[in-house]
Structure 1
């Protein structure tokens, strides 16, 4: 769900080599961003069939340019995970194998480096269910999102462990304790991919003039809708209005694995009234993005990543971290715009109806 906010940049499209159009794409912004992974005023691409999304994000981007620091995006953590399943003869054997994993950590780290020059083993966690040993490996993967890199490393580590641990056998190279493309508590708690928080402090006069609401109304709606409403619905480590909208559009426009919005859209919106000014943040612990790897060499994707400044010569992993910060800032723009719209009766539906009719008329011509 989105709200009308004004004009956006021209429409382009993501297209295959045969020239047929797959997805309408617009660059919106620029949004102003600061923080430990990205700085400056940057337009962002969004590929979507939900046309009101573009002006909604554009309104949030305009708000960011009215604030000195803009959107402050802080990258808190960065790791890709893959879990394996080892089947033991009984719980005692599984427990012994779990303890051996941590005793062999240096050995496993060295072995991981043989699988890729970019992969580093950061941590190992495990859970035991009867004779079943679930092992969650956490890796750094440079500028790649890291799916294949983590799986290759995990497969190598699993083969090594089976050859050196007694009373165990193969279960699976992927055991759902990762967890990949599923909304889970463990990913919300431990994170998977890039953990980023985007935040902004909007002065009260901008809240009133540009968002047509108040900080108190947005903060109240965040509690009643995002927190209580999501709790009643049984949400898993998540309390937001529509992160998935912005993330899917951003992922498609930048060549990401779109299925990762399942865990990527887990996140928490926080809003507070600070003497009339609005503090607003979006925390996303599971942003899985990369600037190299499958799909990134397609001409439209290459162009998008270049325009986003994610093809620059930087230390390994910095381009992907920049992309994650921009994704989080884009989410904040759309989330802020929608939350403001929903404090005003009728605004959301009026915007959708007007914009969708307008786009329908344009396409007819």
Structure 2
């Protein structure tokens, strides 16, 4: 689990590290008898003390630098007490010195597919939760929103190199004609992972193999990487001269904006829509249907096209996605692709039809940060805490629907604020506390 740490040696008598004073442990780290990284192993299972000692080491280092007092006092503002470090060590973070509390709010509840759900949001941006709450309230007043799961599948795309173009062509053909054998190899490594497709593209002699698989209630990066590794071993039996350059060749695409995710999807592909009654638009959102439809074209469609945006045909999808991701223990770096979204609005009779289409929502309810107490609490608040025993995968699907509904609410409210000219006044009121 950790790099090897010296387990004994606090003094000439070889006192166990756990019986040494903090000062002695700090000296041991400075003299490299214990690695900075290995404090948890040396003091296991007292992880809290390991963190306390590491903070003292950091404090001593800071004391020798310019503005020492300021840096040392800064450490005192970073909490580390009253936290279950057993769930973190070896899984979520290394070289731990504490945790960063983030305010948690809740928008809604919002009516999604006939059932009400709260939307937990962790953010430091004033007005975001209030705005999303207003959008959710308007949607619920109008009968709620509907969601559609268009497809799902986490992807991983290794890059391999062949000795000749002819050999690369044979690999391309083999992948197209022998999917079932690769699927069998892939699925032998996992209980829940099911390989749905394999797309092979060439760049000269190099081949990029985009494996796509459902991963149950997990976000699935580890699961699919393990399966891909097994499938590659089968490929190498048929192509022994094939060199695996990397298990990820960026054609996946993970944690980066890309057209392939926008077009083919990654994770959960979800559409959410609602019909807003004209009187709700005017009473709750303080604008008109016509002004919203017109502004959506000018801003979210034309403006984003002029900017050359990939998947950015929206007002603030990333705002809602990031806040929900942080609250529910998702990977914040995957906000990049998960917030790709096109927002559409049209007038139906006198009412407003609004939708968000999001092809790449990457979420899970097991693994990663979802096991931490507060994050698990937010998932349980929604009703998707942990894997579904009856129907594996449905809890992660539910979370993706809530994310899409949250984005729908945030889009509706922000666009209404812009249409009515209220954006600045709302932010000044909620972002600027009077001293």
Q: TM-score, normalised by structure 1?
A: 0.90
Task: Note if 1:356 corresponds to 2:435.
Answer: no
Which of the numbers 254, 276, 279 marks the counterpart of 1:180?
254
Unaligned runs of 5+ in 1: 1-14
Contact 2:183 2:231 in 1 (8 A): no
Deviation at 1:276, TM superposition (A): 2.2
Which of the numbers 415, 418, 421 marks the counterpart of 1:339?
415
Task: Note if 1:139 corresponds to 2:213.
Answer: yes
**Range that drifts further, 261-270 or 309-318:** 309-318
CA distance in 2, matches of 1:168, 1:301: 43
Task: Note if 1:55 corresponds to 2:130.
Answer: yes
User: Which residue matches 2:322?
Assistant: 248
Deviation at 1:313, TM superposition (A): 4.3
CA distance in 2, matches of 1:279, 1:31: 17
**CA gap 1:223/1:246 in 2 versus in 1, 3 angstroms:** same
User: Which residue matches 2:31?
Assistant: none
User: Which residue matches 2:111?
Assistant: 32
User: Which residue matches 2:119?
Assistant: 44
Which of the numbers 245, 250, 257 marks the counterpart of 2:331?
257
Which of the numbers 101, 111, 115 marks the counterpart of 1:22?
101
CA distance in 1, matches of 2:145, 2:126: 24
| Secondary structure at 1:296 match in 2 | helix
CA distance in 1, matches of 2:166, 2:357: 40
User: Which residue matches 1:67?
Assistant: 142
Q: Deviations for 1:30-73, whole angstroms, at most 9, x for unmatched residues? A: 11110xxxx411111100000210100100111122122x0111
Q: TM-score, normalised by structure 2?
A: 0.76
Deviation at 1:122, TM superposition (A): 0.3
CA distance in 2, matches of 1:254, 1:107: 37
**CA gap 1:20/1:130 in 2 versus in 1, 3 angstroms:** closer
| Secondary structure at 2:118 match in 1 | strand
CA distance in 2, matches of 1:319, 1:309: 8
CA distance in 2, matches of 1:71, 1:300: 27
CA distance in 1, matches of 2:176, 2:402: 36
CA distance in 2, matches of 1:335, 1:314: 34
Unaligned runs of 5+ in 2: 1-81, 86-97
**Runs of at least 4 residues off by over 2 Å:** 15-21, 311-314
Deviation at 1:20, TM superposition (A): 5.9
Contact 1:158 1:173 in 2 (8 A): no
Pairs aligned (count): 340
Q: Deviations for 1:308-360, whole angstroms, at most 9, x for unmatched residues? A: 11036440000000000001000100010000111123x10000001112xx3
Which of the numbers 321, 324, 334 marks the counterpart of 2:397?
321
User: Which residue matches 1:3?
Assistant: none
| Secondary structure at 1:236 match in 2 | coil
| Secondary structure at 1:122 match in 2 | strand
Task: Note if 1:229 corresponds to 2:303.
Answer: yes
**Range that drifts further, 190-199 or 296-305:** 296-305
Which of the numbers 118, 142, 146 marks the counterpart of 2:192?
118
CA distance in 2, matches of 1:219, 1:314: 42
Q: What is the correspondence of 1:62-211 to structure 2 with a 5 Å cutoff? A: 62-68=137-143, 70-211=144-285
CA distance in 2, matches of 1:206, 1:297: 39
User: Which residue matches 2:51?
Assistant: none
CA distance in 2, matches of 1:28, 1:239: 23
Deviation at 1:16, TM superposition (A): 4.7
Deviation at 1:162, TM superposition (A): 1.8
The CA RMSD over aligned residues, in Å, is 1.6
User: Which residue matches 2:26?
Assistant: none
**CA gap 1:20/1:112 in 2 versus in 1, 3 angstroms:** closer
| Secondary structure at 2:305 match in 1 | helix
* Greater relative contact order, per chain length (Cα 8 Å cut-off, separation 6+): 1
**CA gap 1:16/1:190 in 2 versus in 1, 3 angstroms:** farther
Contact 1:144 1:320 in 2 (8 A): yes
